[in-house]
Copies of this chain bind each other. A is one copy, B any other.
Amino acid sequence: MIIIKAGGGKYINWNYIAQDIATLNEQTIIVHGANAAFKEISQKFGLSEKIIQSPSGHTSRYTDNQTMELLTMVYSGLINKKIVSCLQKHGINAVGLSGADGKLWLGKKKDAILAKVGSKTKLITDSLTGKVESVNTKLISILTRGGFTPVITIPAITDSGELINVDNDRALAVMARDLKVRTLVILFEAPGFMEKLDDPSSKVSHIDIEDIDKFLEKSEGRMKKKLLGVTEAINAGVTNIYFGDGRIKNPVSQAMKGKGTTIN
């Protein structure tokens, strides 16, 4: 069993991904983002993205009620069902789920977040963000044993039934841990891990697990974030991670052949 995660970038090609998965002899679980669509639809709604910054400089999305509703519409509605439709077109019997369904991604809401607003630090208590802590493996296993391919995205859910926004990469690591999955394929809009942001010629073909800290130090922005996700996955028991380009043909098998960045 492998978990394939595809980012929510505009140029991620789901036809190519679906075509490729249809030829794999491997049970897959798919996790997806929807960031580009979310931004576009937020604008149509006149909803501006609210970013909060922790005193230590870490930024995250401020998920008020309205944002949560829009996230739910776009991630678990529009994009999840578009992906299901695309996979079905290629003969993959996909079942789209949010992390809330069957308490698949069970998490805890952050009680309060200290955040910088201008020069002041405020305590934000109504952000519906949280962290996935465990995965309902039973729902996944009855679906996969039944021949279905789960396609999963946010929101997650708390034990008391509240929808929460969570980080997909963290959810991915917890899924790998609880399902004992050793291989992750992570597709995004770049040829692999790049030492210099936006410079494809700085792509690194292989990173030894032992050397991740070294790469973390010298990486920046979204590349750094991806490596942090990798660290979580490795701590969760994953032994092979393939970064690959989600815009090219056969993106999954190309990544697994080492055409992107292999981390093991």
Contacts and interface: CB of A to CB of B under 8 A. Distances in A.
Contact of A161 (B88, B103, B148): B88
A93 B161 CA distance: 10
Interface string A109-136: 0000000000000000000000000000
A98 interface: yes
A56 to B, nearest CB: 32
Contact of A102 (B72, B76, B85, B148): B148
A97 B98 contact: no
A84 interface: yes
Interface stretch (A139-147, A176-184, A254-262): A139-147
Interface in A37-95: 41, 44-45, 69, 72-78, 80-82, 84-90, 93-95
A98 B86 contact: no
18 contacts: A72-B82, A73-B73, A76-B81, A77-B78, A84-B100, A85-B157, A85-B161, A85-B162, A89-B161, A89-B162, A93-B102, A94-B101, A95-B101, A95-B102, A96-B98, A97-B97, A97-B101, A142-B145
A102 to B, nearest CB: 5
